[in-house]
């Protein structure tokens, strides 16, 4: 993986985990492991949004509110946050 690609997602059979390998803004390679593929995909998506946030927001017209709603809905669907937390997030960003 080159540093220009930013990040990758792969499965490691021997550890039964999903790995997200990514480069930070300081060109430091890091890895984060997850038991569930969906959790790894959410982390990867959030990482890529944070890494190039200015380009994504400017070029695609995605608002911060849209990103927060999307991420909180995904986390609720995976059971990472409760319904009460989801309602609190939605009330806060209105």
Tell me what the mean pLDDT of segment 39-47 comes to: 87
Contacts within 8 Å (CB) and 24+ apart, 33-38: 36/78, 37/11, 38/74, 38/78
> How confident is the model at residue 27, as a pLDDT?
72
pTM, two decimals, is: 0.52
Write the pLDDT tens digit of every residue in 2-40. 344 578 899 999 999 999 998 876 677 889 999 999 999
Residues 6+ away with beta carbon under 8 Å from 90:
69, 72
**76 falls in which pLDDT band (50, 70, 90)?**
very high
Say which residue, 15 or 49, is predicted with more confidence: 15
Say how far apart CA 7 and CA 22 lie, in whole Å: 4
């Amino acid at each position: 993986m080159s540093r220009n690609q930013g990040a990758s997602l792969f499965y490691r059979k021997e550890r039964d985990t999903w790995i997200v390998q990514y480069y930070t803004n300081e060109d430091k390679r890091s890895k984060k492991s997850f038991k569930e593929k969906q959790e790894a995909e959410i982390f990867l998506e959030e990482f890529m949004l944070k890494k190039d946030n200015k380009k994504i927001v400017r070029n695609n017209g995605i608002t911060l509110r849209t990103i927060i709603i999307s991420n909180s809905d995904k986390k609720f669907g995976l059971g990472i946050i409760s319904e009460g937390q989801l309602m609190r997030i939605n009330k806060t960003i209105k």
